[in-house]
Chains A and B, each alone.
Chain A
Amino acid sequence: MPARDTLSQENEDFMTILARLEHWKEQGAISPEQHGYLVSLCRGEPFSLFLELNVLLYAGVLAFVAGLGWTVTTWSQQLGDVLVVAILSTILASSFWYCFSRAPAWSFTETPAPTAVFDYVLYLGSLVWCVELAYLENRFHVLSGRWDFYLLATAAFFFLLAYRFDNRFVLSLAFSSLAGWFGLTISHWPSYQDVAYRQYALLYCLLVGLGGVLLQRRAVKPHFFGTYLNIVANVLFWALLSGVFNREGYGVWFLALLLACGASLAWGLTRRQFAFIAYSAVYGYVGVSSILIRAISDEILILGYFVITAVAMLVALVGIARRFGRPA
């Protein structure tokens, strides 16, 4: 291949990655084997369809379960309980049989899926589990409508599956189920209010956060820790913001929000996890702004506030970006 066969027609200094690779090979910075491999990667030889095939598989599983749930909902009386339960159980049993029969031995560290479709079969099984559980309770009232028990059991089951098979889809389902359990438990209270919801959200954050830290310290699937932190951070910030938006008694929540923003910022800067800097900037700005402008009715002052504070935020963020924020 000519060294600079892809010189731009616009700019003589324009050196494509192929020309650079050739240059680096001539310099001895990379070996001829590396050069050959990297050139082929750049040229798309071979061209990887990994991401596209995974997205199609995911869409396929999702469409299938959506149709299954819709069909069961609509036609259960015509089909009969036995047939519906038999079909759902067959899919469920087949999915889990596939997963348990093909899973490698459990490991504390990240384990690649044994087959290309493994993660999606597990996801299918988990979603069908939800559909079947909902159907059984609705038809046979096994737990007399105590959905919180189902959700708690489902959350525990999904956590086990996620850790056994190292699956982020199912881990997210577990978080979702656990959040549902907290939500449904509170809905049994005779007069539930925002305050109670907020307390449960904080309890959820505490539980998930502590669980995540504990598992990470024991080096049990430590690569899941980022998922724990992101979920805890978002739920926590929403809960604190809802407290800040109160007309009365918002002082404690505001203080807690500032502390959380500080912690999130510190974590983001020290660990170079810039999502946490974004959380602290956005949630913090919304909380502080709601406190500062709630007593102001003058439009000019409010607009002036936004101009000055947004510019101040820009200056601060540019400072952070210049010092820490290289492309991830």
Chain B
Amino acid sequence: MSIASTNRMTPYLFLAPAGLVLAFALFYPICYMIYASFLDWNPSQRIGEAEFVGLRNYFKLFGDDAFRESMGVTLKFAAVVVTIEMFLGVGLALLLDRNIRGMSVLRTLFILPMMIAPIVVGLMWRYMYHPTVGIFNKTLKSWGFDGIPWLSDGSWAFASVVIADVWQWTPFIFILSLAALQSLPASAIEASKIDGASDWQQIIYIKLPLMLPVLIVTLLLRLIDSFKVLEVILVMTNGGPGLSTEILSLRINRTASEFRELGEAAAMSNLLLIVLLILTFTMFIYNKAQDARAARLRAVEEEA
């Protein structure tokens, strides 16, 4: 081998160990899961003993009303929480992007919910939603109102898990939006003041358009995350009442542990993975497009 080609190989040589670990840690479980989704597999069997059934698990899923409902709940949940969180997070960032005393403390307080373990968040909210001793119903009753069936009525239960998720994850959008806001070119905002823009006009015509690239990435990240939420809902409602809060990851969990259908659970996981992959690819392509655009513009500029 010539020296030149050895030199070219060197970086790959150094990357190889990490690459191997990655391949094993990432691809082995995925391949295992894809293979498992073609089996009729009971947890009491070893994988070799399970019967190969081809695409039967998938066909069964598409015919399964409960799965379809669960998919619907997941999509509805993701759409609702991400929309509310985007509005609140960006709104808070716009509101708190100023230099007044104690603001840094306030900002830190705002991101606290994000740091609490999801199980704890679930437990916390379950106690607060408790029909008799929970703080919400106690307060309502002390004001002379009827208590609300927070977790025992289907529509209220959905709203309740949405509220808990919004409480926990709005800070994520808040900090990313705030970072985006604070890195905006100060002089462009000053120029808009001179040009006569009111505070609202500055937000609508200057700040939001300039934040847009960050907001899109934030939205996608949050969307991906909201498809995978499990613990909070598991602790609060365990998918009930009925199937009203049974999001996909909960259904997968139940299919595997309660119904003892490992193959079917694997098939569901694969479908969820495909949905997430589509979202991730969207993000990837968006980033690529942004980079390409920036590179093209730079090239034009340097030529001039």
Binding partners A and B: no
A residues in contact (CB < 8 Å) with B: none
B residues in contact (CB < 8 Å) with A: none
